[in-house]
Amino acid sequence: ETGVTQTPRHLVMGMTNKKSLKCEQHLGHNAMYWYKQSAKKPLELMFVYNFKEQTENNSVPSRFSPECPNSSHLFLHLHTLQPEDSALYLCASSQERGTGSTDTQYFGPGTRLTVL
């Protein structure tokens, strides 16, 4: 399954570093998402983009900054992170229809982030 790709797969960074996570979807979808998966919590939705516009920010700290230059690409810019931000960051995409239940979300393999 290569519909949604994420790079890098693993990232180790210090608290003063700036790095970016990249997601690309090859499915022709119009919505993209960032999720955080940490060991002790359920999957948490972070951001939603529809047609390149951010439509939801789920109370995420400003040290996480998303960017969606087009409907196929999604970035998550990271700066001055904390050790508790260490987690698996998952990107997903879907085709939003606007009414009824959501269409299926397709996930990438994730970026395993470790903050030292």
Partner 1 sequence: GNSVTQMEGPVTLSEEAFLTINCTYTATGYPSLFWYVQYPGEGLQLLLKATKADDKGSNKGFEATYRKETTSFHLEKGSVQVSDSAVYFCALSDLFSGGSNYKLTFGKGTLLTVNP
Residues contributing to the site for partner 1 (CB under 8 A): 1, 4, 6, 31, 33, 42-43, 45, 48, 50, 55-56, 58, 90, 92, 96, 98, 101-102, 104-110
- Which residue, 68 or 90, has its beta carbon nearer to partner 1? 90
Percentages helix, strand, coil for the chain (3-state, rounded to 5) are 5, 55, 40
In angstroms, give the least distance from the CB of 52 to partner 1: 14
Beta bridge partners, 112, equal 10, 88
In angstroms, give the least distance from the CB of 41 to partner 1: 8
- Which residue, 13 or 88, has its beta carbon nearer to partner 1? 88
Cα(92)–Cα(116) distance, integer angstroms: 26
- Which residue, 16 or 41, has its beta carbon nearer to partner 1? 41
Cα(8)–Cα(99) distance, integer angstroms: 34
- Which residue, 18 or 56, has its beta carbon nearer to partner 1? 56
Cα(16)–Cα(9) distance, integer angstroms: 21
In angstroms, give the least distance from the CB of 72 to partner 1: 17
ω into residue 8 within 30 of 0, thus cis?
yes
